[in-house]
C-alpha cells in the first residue's frame, strides 16, 4: 500500500511512523492522561485498515486526520490536543517555504501528483519540468498574493476549482479560435520576421504549423484552426503546377491534350496536398511548445464553410487526405503505427455528406473508418447547431469549439456579420455540484437548503471569475504579439491594451460545473436517467444559466455555462468530498466524480438513449459540452458507426465515439491494454504478456473530450476501468 507525502512523492505505507508519532504526543501528556502501548497499536492498526479500504494512495494529511479521530475515539483528548498542536506548529514551519520540496521532487520525477496531472505531458522531459517548476511558483504567488483568501480556501477544499492557477501569475488566457484566414491572406509576423501570403498549399501548411506553435506558447488552453482557411491555397498550387507542367513539356517539345494536362496537374496537386497535410500532422505531433507538450490543436472540417463550389471540392480533397493519414496513424519509437493524441479532428455532419446519395457521403464513410480505428474525428451536427447557436440577427451558426469542448457564444461584429475566428475564452472556474448537494443534505435531504447553498456558491464562483477577468484587463498587446498584434486574435497596436476584447461578447468567460449525476442522486435519491432526477438536473442547469445571464446583463461580460472536462481534478474533488463528508453510497464512494452532465460511466444504457437524454443538458451548456458513447472495436462494423453518426446529426450538437487503440512494445499485442489492481494501485497491464511498464506501453484513451496518451491519476484510471459499453 502506498501513501503520498507532502512533497508529492509516493512511498510505501509504514505503520511504525503512526506508532512513533502517537507515542511522542502520548509521552508529552500528563501521565494520568496517557494511553497504553496496546491502545496506540490499536490506533495504528485501525488507521491502516481504513487506508486499505479506500483503494487509493492517501496523503499524509488524510492519514493524520484518521489518526486524530482514532485518538479521540479512545477518549485520549489530551493526547489528541498535543498531536493537533504539533501538526499545526509543523504546518507553520512548512508555510514559510511552499515550493522547494515540490520542485525538487518534480526534478527527480518523484512527484506523483504532477506525474499524472496531464495525460499529454511527459514529466521526465526537461521542458515539461521547466513548465511545472514555473507553475509551482505561479500557484504559490496566486494563492498568497493574487487571490482573495475565501477563493483560495474554497479551491483547496475542493468546493470550487480555480483552473490553471499555474499560469495565473502571468496575463494569459485560456483557449481560442485562431484567425488563420487573416494571417495567411494578409501576412503575419513570427519572432520578429515578416511572413507574407504563401504561394503554395504546402507553404501555407508549413506556416500554419509555425502559427500553431507560437499561439500555443502564448496561452494555456486549446486552439482551433479550420481547413477552410487552407483551401484557397489549393487553387494557388494548381495554377502554379499548371504553369510548371506547361513549361516542362514546352521545353521538351511535347504537346499534351487538355485532358492529359489536367490529369497530370491534379496528380501532382494531390501529391502536394499529401505533403502539406503530412507537415501538419507530423509537426503538431513532434513540436514541443514552451509548456512542454505538443500543441493542443483542433482541426475543423466543415464543407459548408467553403464560399464557392470549387473551394468546397478543394476542401473535400484536403479533408480526405487528413482522414486517410490519420487512419494510418504515426509510428512510435518501435516503428509501429499508433494513435496520436493530436491534432484533434472535428468533422461536421451536414446535408451534403450524411446520406448515401449526398455528394460527399464518401468522406463521412471515411470519417467513420477513422473513428473506428483512431477515435477521431468527433462530430458536430450542423442541423442541431444551427438551431442552438442563433445570433442577434436571428441566424443560426455552425462553427468549431476550442480545444476539447469549449464553445464561444454567437457574436455579430460591427458590420453585422457573424464572427468566430479571432475570439477567445478568458478562463474557467468550476463549481463542484456534489459538494453543494452534500453540504445541503448532510443530515437529511433538503431541496430548499440546496438552492440556498447553490446561490452562495454561485456568488463565490462569480467572485473568482471576476478575478480572472480583472487579471486580463489592462494587459498590453505586447505581452503576446502573435495573438494581439499579428492577427491570431486581433490587430492591435503596440502598447494598446486588450481590455476592449474582454467585453461585449467578443470573448467568453466560463462557469464550469461537475458532478451533476452525483448531485441529483444526493438531493433526490433518483438517477439522472429517471424522470424525477432528470427534471431536477435540468432545473439545476437552468439555475446556472440564469446566474450567468444576470451577471452578463449587469457587467457586459459574456459569462457562459461550461461542462468542465475534469481530468486530474476529478480525483481532487473526489478526495475532497471523502474528507468532508465520508463515504456516501452512489455519491462519494468512488475516486472520481462524473464530468459535467454525463450519465455515470457505470450506468447501463444504450447509445441512442444516452445521446437523447444528454442532448437536453447539452443545450443548457452553451459555453461548451460534449457527449460520448463507449463502443467496442468497430473496425469491422462501419455500418453501425454510420448509424450512430446519423443519429448524432438528427439529435445532438456535439458527440464522439470512444473506442480503444493500444500497443504493447514488449510482445506486439495491439488489443486492449487492461487495468488491474496491484498492491492497492490500479496498473495498466498487457493481457498477453503481463507487461506493466508504462514506458513500454502505448495506451490511448479519450480522457475528457480529447485523447490522452501519458496515463492518468488513480481517480481517472478508475473511471476508465469502470466504463460500460453503450453499443
Q: How many CB atoms neighbour CB 672 within 10 A?
A: 15
Nearest to 565 by CA among 515, 610, 622: 515
Is 562 considered catalytic here?
A: yes
With residues binned 3-state (H G I as helix, E B as strand, rest as coil), the percentages for the chain, rounded to 5, are 50, 15, 35
How far, in Å, CA of 383 to CA of 386, rounded? Answer: 6
Kindly name the residue from 403, 512, 537, 705 that is annotated as catalytic.
705
Element (H, E) at 532: helix 531-555
Residues paired with 675 in a beta bridge: 684
With beta carbons less than 8 A apart as the criterion, state whether 710 and 121 touch.
yes
Kindly name the residue from 174, 179, 568, 596 that is annotated as catalytic.
174
How far, in Å, CA of 367 to CA of 321, rounded? Answer: 11
Q: What does the DSSP assignment read for 652-681?
A: -SEEEEE--EEEETTT---SPPEEEEETTE
What is the bridge-based pairing of β-strands 344-349 and 378-381?
A: parallel
Residues paired with 3 in a beta bridge: 11, 58
Q: What is the CA radius of gyration of the chain?
A: 27
Kindly name the residue from 117, 136, 350, 567 that is annotated as catalytic.
567
Is 402 considered catalytic here?
A: yes
How far, in Å, CA of 654 to CA of 351, rounded? Answer: 16
Residue 280 main-chain phi, psi, to 5 deg: -60, -50
Q: How many CB atoms neighbour CB 128 within 10 A?
A: 20
Kindly name the residue from 35, 402, 548, 653 that is annotated as catalytic.
402
Is 642 considered catalytic here?
A: no
Q: What does the DSSP assignment read for 636-654?
A: T-HHHHHHHHHHHHHH-SE
How far, in Å, CA of 237 to CA of 272, rounded? Answer: 8
Contacts of 385 (CB under 8 A, 6+ apart): 396, 397, 398, 399, 653, 654
Q: What does the DSSP assignment read for 318-378?
A: HHHHHHHHHHH-EE-TTS-EE--S-SEEEEEE-TTTSSTTSTTHHHHHHHHHHHHHH---E
- 80: its cell numbers: 489528541
Kindly name the residue from 425, 507, 621, 661 that is annotated as catalytic.
425
Is 75 considered catalytic here?
A: no
Kindly name the residue from 406, 432, 560, 627 that is annotated as catalytic.
406
Nearest to 43 by CA among 2, 62, 15, 24: 15
Contacts of 445 (CB under 8 A, 6+ apart): 522, 523, 524, 525
Q: Quick one: DSSP state of residue 430?
A: E
Is 686 considered catalytic here?
A: no
How far, in Å, CA of 173 to CA of 424, rounded? Answer: 8
What is the bridge-based pairing of β-strands 297-301 and 344-349?
A: parallel
What is the bridge-based pairing of β-strands 627-630 and 654-658?
A: parallel
How far, in Å, CA of 369 to CA of 128, rounded? Answer: 34
Q: Quick one: DSSP state of residue 144?
A: I
Q: How many residues does the chain have?
A: 727
Kindly name the residue from 302, 562, 628, 706 that is annotated as catalytic.
562
Kindly name the residue from 175, 401, 519, 634 that is annotated as catalytic.
175
- DSSP 3-state of 346: strand
Contacts of 260 (CB under 8 A, 6+ apart): none
Residue 246 main-chain phi, psi, to 5 deg: -60, -40
How far, in Å, CA of 553 to CA of 355, rounded? Answer: 42
Is 467 considered catalytic here?
A: no
With beta carbons less than 8 A apart as the criterion, state whether 215 and 178 touch.
yes
Is 477 considered catalytic here?
A: no
- DSSP 3-state of 12: strand
What is the bridge-based pairing of β-strands 558-563 and 508-514?
A: parallel
- 81: its cell numbers: 490536543
Q: Quick one: DSSP state of residue 412?
A: B
Q: What does the DSSP assignment read for 242-285?
A: HHHHHHHHHHTT----HHHHHHHHHHHHHHHHHHHHHHHHHHHH
- 325: its cell numbers: 493519414
- The residues annotated with a catalytic role in the active site are 174-175, 402, 404, 406, 425, 562, 567, 705
Amino acid at each position: 500500500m502506498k501513501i503520498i507525502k507532502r512533497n508529492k512523492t509516493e512511498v510505501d505505507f509504514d505503520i511504525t511512523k503512526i506508532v512513533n508519532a502517537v507515542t511522542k504526543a502520548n509521552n508529552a501528556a500528563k501521565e494520568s492522561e496517557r494511553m497504553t502501548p496496546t491502545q496506540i497499536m490499536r490506533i495504528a492498526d485501525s488507521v491502516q485498515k481504513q487506508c486499505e479500504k479506500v483503494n487509493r494512495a492517501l496523503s499524509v494529511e488524510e492519514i493524520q486526520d484518521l489518526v486524530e479521530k482514532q485518538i479521540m475515539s479512545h477518549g485520549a483528548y489530551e493526547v489528541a490536543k498535543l498531536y493537533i498542536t504539533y501538526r499545526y506548529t509543523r504546518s507553520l514551519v512548512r508555510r514559510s517555504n511552499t515550493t522547494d520540496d515540490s520542485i525538487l521532487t518534480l526534478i527527480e520525477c518523484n512527484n506523483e501528483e504532477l506525474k499524472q496531472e496531464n495525460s499529454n505531458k511527459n514529466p521526465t522531459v526537461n521542458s515539461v519540468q521547466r513548465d511545472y517548476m514555473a507553475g509551482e511558483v505561479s500557484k504559490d504567488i496566486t494563492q498568497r498574493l493574487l487571490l482573495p483568501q475565501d477563493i483560495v480556501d474554497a479551491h483547496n477544499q475542493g468546493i470550487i476549482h480555480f483552473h490553471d492557477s499555474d499560469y495565473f501569475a502571468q496575463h494569459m488566457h485560456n483557449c481560442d479560435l485562431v484567425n488563420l484566414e487573416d494571417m495567411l491572406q494578409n501576412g503575419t509576423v513570427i519572432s520578429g520576421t515578416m511572413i507574407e501570403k504563401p504561394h503554395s498549399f504546402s507553404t501555407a501548411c508549413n506556416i500554419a504549423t509555425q502559427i500553431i506553435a507560437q499561439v500555443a506558447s502564448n496561452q494555456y488552453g486549446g486552439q482551433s484552426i479550420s481547413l477552410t482557411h487552407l483551401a484557397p491555397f489549393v487553387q494557388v498550387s494548381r495554377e502554379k503546377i499548371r504553369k510548371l507542367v506547361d513549361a516542362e513539356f514546352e521545353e521538351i517539345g511535347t504537346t499534351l491534350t487538355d485532358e492529359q494536362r489536367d490529369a497530370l496537374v491534379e496528380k501532382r496537386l494531390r501529391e502536394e496536398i499529401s505533403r502539406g497535410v503530412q507537415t501538419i500532422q507530423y509537426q503538431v505531433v513532434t513540436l514541443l511548445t514552451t509548456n512542454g507538450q505538443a500543441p493542443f490543436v483542433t482541426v475543423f472540417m466543415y464543407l459548408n464553410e467553403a464560399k464557392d463550389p470549387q473551394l468546397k471540392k478543394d476542401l473535400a480533397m484536403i479533408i480526405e487526405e487528413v482522414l486517410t493519414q490519420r487512419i494510418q496513424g504515426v509510428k512510435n519509437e518501435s516503428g509501429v503505427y499508433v494513435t496520436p493524441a493530436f491534432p484533434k479532428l472535428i468533422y461536421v455532419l451536414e446535408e451534403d455528406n450524411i446520406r448515401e446519395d449526398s455528394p460527399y457521403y464518401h468522406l463521412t464513410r471515411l470519417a467513420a473508418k477513422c473513428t473506428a480505428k483512431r477515435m477521431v474525428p468527433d462530430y458536430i451536427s450542423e442541423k442541431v447547431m444551427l438551431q442552438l447557436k442563433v445570433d442577434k440577427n436571428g441566424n443560426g451558426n455552425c462553427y468549431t469549439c476550442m480545444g476539447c469542448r469549449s464553445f464561444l457564444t454567437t457574436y455579430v461584429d460591427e458590420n453585422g456579420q457573424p464572427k468566430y475566428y479571432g475570439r477567445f475564452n478568458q478562463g474557467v472556474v468550476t463549481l463542484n455540484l456534489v459538494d453543494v448537494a452534500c453540504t445541503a443534505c448532510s443530515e437529511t435531504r433538503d431541496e430548499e437548503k440546496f438552492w440556498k447553498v447553490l446561490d452562495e456558491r454561485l456568488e463565490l464562483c462569480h467572485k473568482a471569475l471576476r478575478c480572472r477577468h480583472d487579471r486580463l484587463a489592462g494587459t498590453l498587446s505586447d505581452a503576446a504579439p502573435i495573438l494581439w498584434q499579428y492577427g491570431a486574435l486581433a490587430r492591435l497596436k503596440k502598447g494598446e491594451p486588450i481590455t476592449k476584447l474582454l467585453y461585449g461578447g467578443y470573448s467568453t468567460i466560463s462557469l464550469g460545473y461537475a458532478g451533476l449525476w452525483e448531485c441529483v442522486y444526493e438531493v433526490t435519491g433518483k438517477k439522472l436517467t429517471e424522470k424525477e432526477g432528470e427534471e431536477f438536473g435540468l432545473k439545476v442547469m437552468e439555475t446556472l444559466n440564469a446566474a450567468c445571464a444576470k451577471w452578463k446583463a449587469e457587467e457586459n461580460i459574456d459569462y457562459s455555462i461550461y461542462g468542465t472536462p475534469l481530468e486530474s481534478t476529478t480525483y481532487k474533488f473526489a478526495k475532497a468530498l471523502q474528507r468532508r463528508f465520508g463515504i456516501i453510497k452512489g455519491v462519494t464512494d468512488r475516486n472520481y466524480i462524473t464530468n459535467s452532465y454525463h450519465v455515470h460511466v457505470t450506468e447501463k444504457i444504450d447509445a441512442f438513449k444516452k445521446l437523447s437524454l444528454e442532448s437536453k443538458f447539452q443545450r443548457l451548456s452553451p459555453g461548451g459540452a460534449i457527449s460520448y458513447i463507449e463502443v467496442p472495436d468497430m473496425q469491422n462494423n462501419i455500418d453501425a458507426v454510420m448509424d450512430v453518426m446519423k443519429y448524432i446529426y438528427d439529435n445532438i450538437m456535439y458527440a464522439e465515439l470512444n473506442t480503444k487503440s493500444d500497443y504493447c512494445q514488449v510482445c506486439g499485442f495491439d488489443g486492449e491494454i487492461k487495468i488491474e489492481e496491484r498492491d492497492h494501485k490500479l496498473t495498466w497491464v498487457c493481457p498477453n504478456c503481463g507487461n506493466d511498464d508504462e514506458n513500454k506501453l502505448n495506451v490511448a484513451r479519450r480522457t475528457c473530450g480529447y485523447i490522452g496518451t501519458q496515463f492518468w491519476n488513480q481517480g481517472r484510471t478508475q473511471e476508465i476501468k469502470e466504463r460500460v459499453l453503450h453499443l
